[in-house]
Chain A
Amino acid sequence: MPGIRLGFTARRRLFLVMIGLPAVLYMVLVAFWPLSQGLAYSFTDYTLTRPGPVNWVGLENYADMFADPAAQRAIVNTFVFTLAAVGLQLLAGLGLALLLWPDSRFNRICLALMLIPITVTPLAVGLIFRAMLEPDFGILGYWARVWGLSPARGYLADENLALATLIVIDVWEWTPLVALILLAGLKSLPTDVLEAAEVDGASRFQRFHRIILPMLLPAIFLALVMRSMDAFKIYDSVFVTTGGGPDNATNVLMFHAAKIGLEFFQIGAASAISTFMLACVGLMSVSFVLMIRHAERRLGSR
């Protein structure tokens, strides 16, 4: 009976498709199906606390979002936070990676211990800093207040400094990860090129600027992409330290959307915010890809 006895290649393909299918179906069901539902909700006035039919409202939720001062603040804050936190992490991470580069027992132990902050529950990180920065009893907050370095109610309660404080907390938490990625990049550099440059009499700065940095670009991009995507959806530390305050000074998109959607139960409005976030992430990914292509072309033509 031809058709039932399949050849080996066909059986092999069938087998591979069969074992790959469950994960794909799972993603469709648990990721894309809810995602598309959220997209649909964003064009309605769906509100859990209000009985009655759900009405189609077109782009009203989006218009409301852009007109709402709290949401505006969240948009600006999210971008400022992402840019500043990731920028500082790349700088500090590069410095640490260069220090850790020479292989020694001391450096290996340093690296292992330095990775501890990224394993600590992010929520606990927020709690630690909230407690340490507390202006009355906190080990850092008290002295900062007494020495006149912080406002009387502490950094986290100050409208101008709260977001900067959250950035510092994020830099503390994730710089080790950036350092680790850049260090892995440094360690994979071809040693012969570096040695040749040294023999040829290139100065330390020249070697760093002309050889190490360009060859490190893939690792830098990896760290940049990973961290930007995560920083953009900051939630835990905002929730636990400031709750978006004072006066929306630390309101960020994730926090704003979760509050509107799952505390006030305005599903339509919240879905508009999360769809906007999704669009931002999409735009960010596209610009990263373009950046990487551009950098590769520039390096290739050199």
Chain B
Amino acid sequence: MSSRRLARRAGQASLLLALIVFLFPIAWLFATAYKRAGDIFAIPPVLTFTPSLRNFTTLFEFFDVPQLVLNSVIISFGTAGLALALGTPAAYALARLETRWAHTIAYGFLAIRMIPPVAILIPFYLMMRDVGLLGTYWALIILDAMQSTSFVVWMMFGYFRAVPKEIEEAAVVDGCTQWGTFIRVVLPCVVPGLIASALFCIIFAWNNFIFPSFLTNASTRPLSVAMISAYGSNEINWGTMGALAHFSVLPIVALALLLNRYFVQGLTRGVH
């Protein structure tokens, strides 16, 4: 074997090893859902087990799973919808306004993402308490959308600047209104950016824990908050946690794998 091929094999072997390190804990989490208590608490711990669906029965006994899923869906799609509605037009405006201010404001939106969440969460919590929104979906969506809008503006700013201005000019000459040009001519050019933005808004909101843990109550809490209580006592154990992960972790993992191209595009934005 040539040294070059040997090096390639060695590289692939290391990658495979890394892959095992990265995937084992996740595989373990999902596998736990199918273990009986006897297998979970075996001494010494075992990797093999007889599959059982007992944990899912327990899960549905102790948790209102459909309600939790519904809460997570309402919160993440509400956040994505609001953030895109606010952020996309703003990003377009910043990309097309020819002033130095536009760049400064775009960086301002980026800077918002760097604010430690707790610096806003504490006063925001008090504000929501005063207006009586604490515990509702709105409190959480409003705050999540704030973070997501800053992200959407920054991301879409790049996409809109890549759209040639001539396209819009042609549309205006053809008698299209400004709003019509934006909706019918410019937006279709940035669909990949919109998909990537929406994907990230959904992931942020779905996976967020600190905001919902203080802003929602027992009936509006999302899956991420419920997971913490799926752990600890005798009846509710790692098995229940693994079963709940099928609803809280799996959808996002599947979505990111399905939209892998957009996911990667969004994460590597700013490299080129």
Contacts and interface: CB of A to CB of B under 8 A. Distances in A.
Do chains A and B stick together as partners? Answer: yes
Interface in A167-186: 172, 176-177, 180-181, 184-185
A27 interface: yes
Contacts of B162: none
Interface in B196-220: 203, 206-207, 209-210, 214
B156 to A, nearest CB: 11
Contact of A19 (B26, B90, B145, B270): B90
A271 B206 CA distance: 27
B118 A254 contact: yes
Nearest to A222: B270
A160 B111 CA distance: 35
Given A11-B178, A20-B97, A114-B22, A233 B116 contact: yes
B118 A123 contact: no
Contact of B118 (A12, A172, A274): A274
The CB with the most chain A CB atoms within 10 A, among B8, B47, B264, B268, is that of B268
B67 interface: no
Given A37-B123, A127-B241, A142 B43 contact: yes
B149 A26 contact: yes
A83 to B, nearest CB: 17
B146 A19 contact: no
Nearest to A27: B112
A129 B143 CA distance: 29
A244 interface: no
Interface in A95-149: 96, 99-100, 102, 106-107, 110, 112-117, 119-125, 127-129, 131-132, 136-139, 142-143, 146
Contact of B45 (A15, A106, A138, A229): A138
Interface residues of B, number: 91
Interface stretch (B56-64, B187-195, B248-256): B248-256
B22 A31 contact: no
B207 A122 contact: yes
Contacts of A67: none
Contacts of A11: 178
B1 interface: no
B115 A121 contact: no
Contact of A129 (B25, B117, B267): B25
Contacts of A285: 111, 114
B22 A121 contact: no
Nearest to B112: A31
Contact of A274 (B122, B126, B145, B207): B122
Contacts of B150: 27, 31
Interface in A245-276: 253-254, 257-258, 261-262, 267, 270-271, 273-275
A277 interface: yes
Contacts of A100: 15
A196 interface: no
Contact of A30 (B12, B47, B146, B255): B146
A131 B244 CA distance: 15
A19 B253 contact: no
A146 B92 contact: no
Contact of A139 (B28, B123, B124, B268): B28
Contacts of B245: 124
A206 B72 CA distance: 51
Contact of B271 (A20, A26, A185, A258): A185
Contacts of A129: 25
B25 A132 contact: yes
Interface of B: 8, 11-12, 14-16, 18-19, 21-23, 25-26, 28-29, 32, 40-45, 47, 86-87, 89-90, 92-94, 96-97, 105, 108-109, 111-127, 142-143, 145-146, 149-150, 153, 178-179, 182, 203, 206-207, 209-210, 214, 223-224, 227-228, 231, 238, 241, 245, 248-249, 252-253, 255-257, 260, 263-264, 267-268, 270-272
Instruction: Please give me the 10 A-B residue pairs with the lowest Cβ-Cβ distance, nearest first.
Output: A20-B93, A23-B90, A184-B268, A19-B89, A274-B119, A34-B123, A37-B123, A30-B146, A16-B93, A119-B256
17 contacts: A16-B96, A19-B182, A23-B87, A23-B90, A35-B119, A99-B14, A115-B256, A125-B25, A142-B45, A172-B25, A176-B22, A184-B272, A188-B271, A219-B271, A253-B116, A277-B116, A285-B114
Given A41-B123, A113-B22, A262-B122, 17 more contacts: A15-B178, A19-B90, A30-B120, A38-B123, A110-B19, A119-B207, A119-B256, A122-B207, A125-B25, A137-B42, A138-B45, A142-B43, A172-B25, A180-B267, A233-B116, A235-B118, A239-B210
Interface of A: 11-13, 15-17, 19-20, 22-24, 26-27, 30-31, 34-35, 37-38, 41, 96, 99-100, 102, 106-107, 110, 112-117, 119-125, 127-129, 131-132, 136-139, 142-143, 146, 172, 176-177, 180-181, 184-185, 188, 218-219, 222, 229, 232-233, 235-236, 239-240, 253-254, 257-258, 261-262, 267, 270-271, 273-275, 277-278, 281, 285
